Amino acid sequence: MEEVTQGYAILNDIVEQIRKITNFVPKVGVVLGSGLGKFTEDIRVIGKIPYSKLNGFPVSTVPGHNGQFIFGYVNKIPVVLMDGRVHYYEGYDMFSVVMPERIMALLGAKVVILTNAAGGIKSSYYPGLLMAITDHISSFVPSPLIGQNIEEIGTRFPDMTNIYDEELKNLVIRKAHELQVPIREGVYLQTSGPNYETPTEIKMFKTLGADAVGMSTAVEAIALRHMGVRCCGISLITNMAAGINKAELNHDEVKREADAASSRFRKVLWEVIIGIVEMMKEEEKALKEASQPKKDTKKKNEGYDDLNFDDMEIIKFK
């Protein structure tokens, strides 16, 4: 038998620790950015696991980022929420930074929704606006895939062409429109933080094609893409980026704006989760239909055959 890679052994150990607590299998994972903390009150929670309870798991140090996995249901859809993420600027290596996303995927999440607060670079943006991420620039932070490739979860040189799933992005935009929540689509650029940018850096980012800037999401999307997990990203523009309107930036303002937009952001997120499962059901149906002609050969339906949407019982924590 082939030996497992070191990275996989570490991830597997965390999954096993979680599996000792619960056999809950999420279909959708969500990373809750600033302003979305209260989404945890919207879902029917069945259990929480603080990151600090998991040996070898990074624990966020940012005030206001609690750091726990929350398991529960949006309607009948089993979801796992990351309430608090781990940022590169806290001093963790990239393996630790993206560990929570990888764990959500290994627990069963087929789709992950990444959310964040970001500074608006595009001049028509304004605080309170949502931005569905179409693509990103991650060239200013190290790749989370540097180091020995974890063969068990993905290939050495993964494609990043469609890193943010187009259908998911269209779904996000459609749901926001239905709810009359202002939204645009655009390119997210990740910096390491924790300092905000200089006005000249923002000018450069604009020239490069960035519409918004933040400190978290691109590397998470890379790790998910590496695993073949579909993801979408939604930024909440909490402030205009440095130099755009001469105002100085501070974290309190970012938090204030995030809280002010919380209720509409939560509504969009709720509808997107429901929409994702409907979308996956449709895709599952289409795949089944496509395999119909060959009546006697039961064709495998490419990754979705383990989804059973009628069988979503609450699984009690042990």
CB of 12 to ligand HPA, least distance (A): 33
CB of 123 to ligand HPA, least distance (A): 14
Nearest partner of 265 among 133, 163, 131, judged by Cα: 131
Instruction: Measure the CA angle with vertex 59, ends 141 and 212; round to 5°.
Output: 35
* Collapsed DSSP state (helix, strand, coil) of residue 114: strand
Residue 210 binds ligand HPA (CB under 6 A): no
Alpha-helical segments (H) within the chain: 6-21, 39-42, 94-97, 99-107, 166-178, 199-208, 217-226, 251-290
Q: Determine whether 226 is an active site residue.
A: no
Q: Which of 25, 249, 260, 307 binds ligand HPA (CB under 6 A)?
A: 249
Q: Determine whether 96 is an active site residue.
A: no
Q: Determine whether 136 is an active site residue.
A: no
Q: Determine whether 87 is an active site residue.
A: yes
- Among residues 87, 109, 132, 226, the one annotated as catalytic is 87
CB of 120 to ligand HPA, least distance (A): 8
CA–CA dist 82, 101 (Å, integer): 8
Exposure of 175 in the CB half-sphere (CA atoms within 13 A): 25
Under a CB-based contact definition with an 8 Å cutoff, are residues 70 and 40 in contact? yes
Strands 77-83 and 68-74: antiparallel
Residue 254 binds ligand HPA (CB under 6 A): yes
Judged by CB under 6 A, which stretch of 11-19, 64-72, 210-218, 270-278 contacts ligand HPA? 210-218
Residue 241 binds ligand HPA (CB under 6 A): yes
What token pair was written down for 187?
């390119």
CB of 69 to ligand HPA, least distance (A): 23
Positions marked catalytic = 34, 65, 87, 89-90, 117, 215-216, 239, 251
Q: Which residues bind ligand HPA (CB under 6 A)?
A: 117-119, 196-197, 213-215, 238-239, 241, 249, 254
